[in-house]
Homo-oligomer: A and B are copies of this chain.
């Protein structure tokens, strides 16, 4: 496998930020649901590195942009307007239909597909080894793949948004690849799926639902078990918290204590003005909760991108950034207040290069808020924050509040049990031990999403690759000279498994043909 030294970032797709509930002792016995009902938990990346910059950096990944007209509802025959799905395609290294060159398909997730394309170095790097075509179809309702002619129309209301679902996205992929293969006389070419985070969930589900379309899937950091009651709702925040605790107990404690400090400060006269100053915000803070969410997001992101080498996740970061954050928090001179320590620490995440002079709390350059809709319909991932193990404010997931928030925001009622009904998840080992094949669930245990992923082999061919020191879909990142051995080995294993799928497919194909 070619080892390129590309330092561009892997994009973190899902970010959790449950609504932060402040529970100072005096308020602890009061019902707090009214606070959390204000909105549904968000899973969106809010603060990110401008995509254009990345694109300029990554011009070595060449592709054509094309468009395919898709049914808006694959599962009904309502007379709806078709929409153009964008896909990126590169056939430079493709061995072609006669030689049954494979097709590597990355399952686009909730964002601009160019963003994922330039940030999934692994697929680009290994495609030449396999003589593979590379294909990045965009997820409907993101990037340029907008129903109803424009983002504005597509996001107008619950009716126009109603076809933004994972099942429809999977059907888009299936229809696109089937049509493309037909047009290229490439029906016999094996398709291998890739995906990270939500894209990894899509890859795994697609292999399960469309085995006739794709022969295998590498699902990296795909929390397909983060639904209903399959894993404890505290899992995510416990992992984030442990990532900090393993660096420094005092750092963990400072963060854990900071929420009360934050709330107290916010409640003071001129408290918001003071917080605006302490945290160098560009605009005056409107509510303490906004600031808490901004901090919460940073900690969760930091856990996801706690990579062993410097990387640029939206903003550039040092290697093992959590260690750096904790060094800052712990290393302030005696007498530094908790909130000042927190600001010092968080600056690693939001301002490592020191270029920023003030911070914007609300910023969504990637227009990712489609995920809010998805979280309010199918992607209901219950998240709590436990009293002891978590450094975040204690919070019990409350579905009624969640539902209320979704109703207020979108006028839609979530279906919290639908994903497990449609895709499974409960008792996954029994269900898939003798059903299904060729899926890799790769996870790094530093990644808080690993807790909702498949961490044990299910069968001989539905396997889990787990790395102690890995973070969010690190294996999909481009290789770098600083890659630790375990990462190099993990990718080698993945390449070997994928090769096995393709060889097995070609062998079966030959047998079936000679029958």
Give A contacts to B, CB under 8 Å: 71, 73-79, 158-159, 161-163, 165, 167-168, 171, 174-175, 178, 187-188, 208-213, 377, 411-412, 415, 417-418, 420-438, 461, 504-505, 508-509, 512, 515
**B211 adjacent to A424 (CB under 8 Å):** yes
**B165 adjacent to A431 (CB under 8 Å):** no
Nearest neighbor of A78 in chain B, beta-carbon distance: B162
Most B CB within 10 A of own CB, among A74, A75, A436, A508: A75
**B430 adjacent to A508 (CB under 8 Å):** yes
Contact of A505 among B75, B417, B430, B505 (CB under 8 A): B430
Q: How far is the CB of A348 from chain B (nearest CB, A)?
A: 40
Known: A418-B74, A437-B434. A79 touches B425 (CB 8 A): no
**A165 adjacent to B434 (CB under 8 Å):** no
The 5 closest A-B pairs by CB, nearest first: A212-B424, A212-B431, A75-B75, A211-B435, A77-B162
**B212 adjacent to A75 (CB under 8 Å):** no
Which residues of the other chain, B, contact A418 by a CB distance below 8 angstroms?
Answer: 74, 175
Q: How far is the CB of A498 from chain B (nearest CB, A)?
A: 15
Q: Complex Cα distance A163/B73, Å?
A: 10
Nearest neighbor of A163 in chain B, beta-carbon distance: B76
**B508 adjacent to A77 (CB under 8 Å):** no
Which residues of the other chain, B, contact A461 by a CB distance below 8 angstroms?
Answer: 434
27 A-B pairs with CB atoms under 8 Å apart are A71-B415, A73-B76, A74-B418, A75-B76, A75-B167, A77-B158, A77-B161, A77-B412, A77-B415, A79-B158, A79-B159, A79-B162, A79-B412, A171-B422, A187-B426, A188-B427, A209-B209, A211-B424, A212-B423, A212-B426, A212-B431, A212-B432, A213-B421, A429-B512, A430-B505, A434-B504, A435-B438
Q: How far is the CB of A167 from chain B (nearest CB, A)?
A: 5
Q: How far is the CB of A205 from chain B (nearest CB, A)?
A: 11
**A417 adjacent to B178 (CB under 8 Å):** yes
Known pairs A73-B76, A212-B428, A433-B508 / 17 extra A-B pairs, C-beta < 8 Å: A75-B76, A75-B165, A75-B167, A75-B168, A77-B161, A77-B412, A175-B418, A187-B426, A209-B209, A212-B431, A213-B421, A427-B509, A430-B508, A433-B512, A434-B438, A435-B437, A435-B438
**A434 adjacent to B508 (CB under 8 Å):** yes
Which residues of the other chain, B, contact A377 by a CB distance below 8 angstroms?
Answer: 77
Which residues of the other chain, B, contact A437 by a CB distance below 8 angstroms?
Answer: 434-435
**A212 adjacent to B159 (CB under 8 Å):** no
Q: How far is the CB of A208 from chain B (nearest CB, A)?
A: 8
Known: A432-B211, A461-B434, A512-B427. A76 touches B77 (CB 8 A): no
Nearest neighbor of A75 in chain B, beta-carbon distance: B75
Q: Complex Cα distance A75/B418, Å?
A: 10
Q: How far is the CB of A426 from chain B (nearest CB, A)?
A: 7
**B508 adjacent to A422 (CB under 8 Å):** no
Q: How far is the CB of A139 from chain B (nearest CB, A)?
A: 15
Q: Complex Cα distance A422/B173, Å?
A: 11
